[in-house]
Structure 1
Amino acid sequence: MWHKLRDKAQYLDYWLLIPYVILCAIGALMVYSASSDLMSIHGAKPDAYFTKQLIYIGLGFGLLLFSFFLKLNLLRKPKFLIGVTVVILLALFYLLVLSRIRPDAAINGATAWINLGPFSIQPAEFAKLLIVLYLANMLSKREKNLSEHWRDNVKLFSAPVILVAVIIAFVLVQPDTGGAAILGIILLVLLFASGISFWWGISIISATLAVITAAIAGLSRLNLTTGVNYRFNRILAFLEPFKLENMGGSQLVNSYYAINNGGWFGMGLGNSIQKRGYLPEPYTDFILSITTEELGVIGALFILGLLFLLIFRIFTIGIRARQTYNALICYGIGTIIFVQSLFNIGGLLGLLPITGVTLPFISYGGSSMLVLATGLGLVLNVSAQEKKALKMKQS
């Protein structure tokens, strides 16, 4: 067994591993810098979030190694996929019920976390990885199962459409618009990356939207939807942040101040002004604003460069993959990292509405760190398979 592990380890893709390690290190440093002052003000330990982030990074690295050495075929087994699906659906339903019986459980307008004492988990993050694995498995089989008769194809795609649509609907009513949008984009990318015909892709997307609409309408009749006003205020604040500073625009305004304060080279690590009570929760959604204020535009561009390198490498591995399943896993994980980065950066620059999406590997957050690390481990696994196959072919 150890011989097999050592054999696989020699195919490790350092173009993925090194950027990941550097991003995690920068993220931990910036989480400490962005949170320590606020913790001290509230009488808590200055390194409280830093310590948790280190734990998340350690657990994430363990999951990365586990998914790297894992046999990918195990993830395609029906029992595994069904089991994970049931757990995530139950968790999402629990949050839906919790939002009605305990409105005070909402954080930043959304009931999206399950509290487990000192830690909490966000089921919507794990749903992203589930959707990638489920769709990669289902769509990779389509080449053998697609029929000339449309009725057979409807049977083939009806279950995936209902599953993905119900999960998106659950996430959307938390409300987590950013998370729901990411799930929808994953569906879109994987559908067309699988080589499915344009019209079948449009039909599946249309059917998914119809099921989402029906699910939300049903939840509305049961009075289970929340957060409409909260989302509306966020959109208004995005359009007129300075005019509506007291109605949700203050986050974006203070983000602008932080970026402006930093200039090209920053005010120095730990010297941010906006993190001291002006920018709410600066260690999560707006951590890049604080990073820019302290390390400057140059520091922020370095982080974005590492993220771009990571995303580019993931999609390159997917393009070169010989098996459709492996390629779709890479496209799905790459899409998660790319869209999260896009939503986060677009939000703090005022180019997109603020959706509460974290910056991959940089923002504080356990669920996101664990899911992204596991996904990256799967991509490393695919990369190792491709390198080994190429070596055997050349020898």
Structure 2
Amino acid sequence: MKEGSVSNPESHPLSPADADSVVAVAHKLLTRRFGGSPELTEVEVLSGSGTAVVVRARLAPSAFLPHRSVVVKHMPVTGSPIDDAAFLREVVAYQFTTSLPQEVRPGPVLLAYDMDSRIVVLTDIGEAETLIAALNQASESKRVHLLRLLGEQLGRMHAGTATREQDYEHLLNRMLTRYPEYATTHAIRDRALRRSIEVGAQILAAEGLEPPKEFDGLMRHATRFQQSGRSRAFTPFDLSPDNIVVGKEMYFLDYEWAGFRNVGFDVACVIAGFPQFVFARPINDEEADVFITAWVREITTAWPRYGDQAKLEKLLVASLVGWALSSLSTMYADGIEGIIALAEQDQPLASGPARESFLRQADSTTFSEAELLIRRDLYETFEALSRFAARCSGQDYAVIAAYANQVAQRLAVRQP
């Protein structure tokens, strides 16, 4: 794959509000990579995630660059190693996905990037709406269709990248060799995820909700297969429905935390109704079954064992347990930065009079608006785990379903 980066194209820190500066750097990047002098006009500021600035610009017809428009994403320097790691991951992820066949590629193509200006230039996928907007406006039958399509696209990406982890690691290692200052931070999110699962179980126990051994066993299983395992493929990991768009195809955007991980977590994220995204309507059992069936149909050539219902159930229930616990501890720690601090310090979550648990009994207190949103989101995640485990075969899953329902009922707040 031809390299899309240039070394410091007269770059300088950009103002997040300065779209013209972002486009000017993009122009230099495209000129140096493709030649000619591509003209970028009709600049439109799009919404970005976090502190990112995203703009669309139209390209004048050119033999050098046969695209009608491009999207330029700028992640300003914040001084946070977390943001540094996110930008490096995004560049590597786009390098990797750009090398994939079109039928597997999950999103736009990387045209150019620059580490100094923290800019990526991508092909424009055209007009599309977010998955959350599509789901919220859809009829019941249309929702089922959208979730079937999501299962197909997710499974196609997983199966198509299952044997390509070495290719991804080669790109990542090459980038870390060129930018060694990122070496200590690029894997920080993965360490934090594993730690957050453990912390979530500690929080529940401290609140009088001691997990049963069956739940604890799957929690440990989820922690292990996040670190290693056979069922790994490329995933953006941030499967928030506002980072998935529906147009002629379904695309996954925002690769700031992309990498190779166990595929069960992606599937569980959807079944759980997109944990940590509070504006999504819960996924019902019929919708979950359609989604899972579509996903399994795409991935059984890569992982035939998931044609076995028992193996599939263990993967998905363990992944749902992981999501529920990780979401709980992330909310307690006030976001990913707090979880990363916990992971790096390897110590329990601090508690004290300044931190009043949002797991406290609902009939003995009132909750702030923020706490109600957190409780609703966590309620939906644990309730989805309970419903799914209850439909699985075996006494262990019945125990897990009952326990998850107990946690969900603690979180339920019935307004007068």
User: TM-score of the superposition, structure 2-length normalised?
Assistant: 0.25
Query: Which protein, 1 or 2, shows the higher relative CO under an 8 Å CA cutoff with sep ≥ 6?
Result: 1
Query: TM-score w.r.t. structure 1 length?
Result: 0.26
Between Structure 1 and Structure 2, which shows a larger proportion of strand residues? Answer: 2
Higher fraction of helix: 1
